[in-house]
Chain A
């Protein structure tokens, strides 16, 4: 059972454009929603995270939007750059328990 559904699986965006990746979850007990960025051959790196008591969190060009009633959250990358080309995983967890990852989105930013 996939508890965190992520879409799209691949995304091509022009340099300077906005990249948007969406995730939906089923378990209402989740209370921590991180996004990880992974480059080929490297481990995932925490990009930004949000808790359900906040509807939006922004860090530089990266913004998480969170809709608790719809059980959805999304990552927006503003002014996308070729260096942002990577695989992005949304995830969810409850307290200290197991982190559940989405399937991943391979982002390609073209010049």
Chain B
């Protein structure tokens, strides 16, 4: 299995809702990432987990809360989002950190719309 899966594919939520995005990989990768991508822009890194521990938080607002329950799963909990948070949210994974290669495999993304 060489893919990263993400659910749901599309999500529409109000500013008072609480929702979660899910990501799963079965490639044995020990680093997992959340990115945000706005239209016609490159992906922007949000969080990095290494061996299930949060290693990088790119100063993301607290209304985004990541969680890594185990080495295969990554969640992004959403609460009290703003319309400007509407974007494609991408999950990625890569091999053992420290191995030298940062080849990242991306999932198809969740298209989030905040009303």
- Looking at A41-49, A65-73, A78-86, the stretch in contact with chain B turns out to be A41-49
**Which of A44, A97, A98, A104 makes the CB contact (< 8 A) with B90?**
A44
**Which of A44, A89, A96 makes the CB contact (< 8 A) with B102?**
A96
Complex: A31 Cα to B105 Cα, angstroms: 18
- A42 contacts B45, C-beta separation under 8 Å: no
- B106 contacts A98, C-beta separation under 8 Å: no
Is the C-beta of B104 less than 8 angstroms from some C-beta in chain A? yes
**Which of B42, B88, B105 makes the CB contact (< 8 A) with A102?**
B42
A97 / chain B contacts, CB cutoff of 8 Å: 102
- B45 contacts A45, C-beta separation under 8 Å: no
Instruction: List B residues 12-43 near A (Cβ within 8 Å).
Output: 31, 40-43
5 contacts between A and B (CB under 8 A): A44-B90, A44-B106, A46-B103, A95-B98, A99-B45
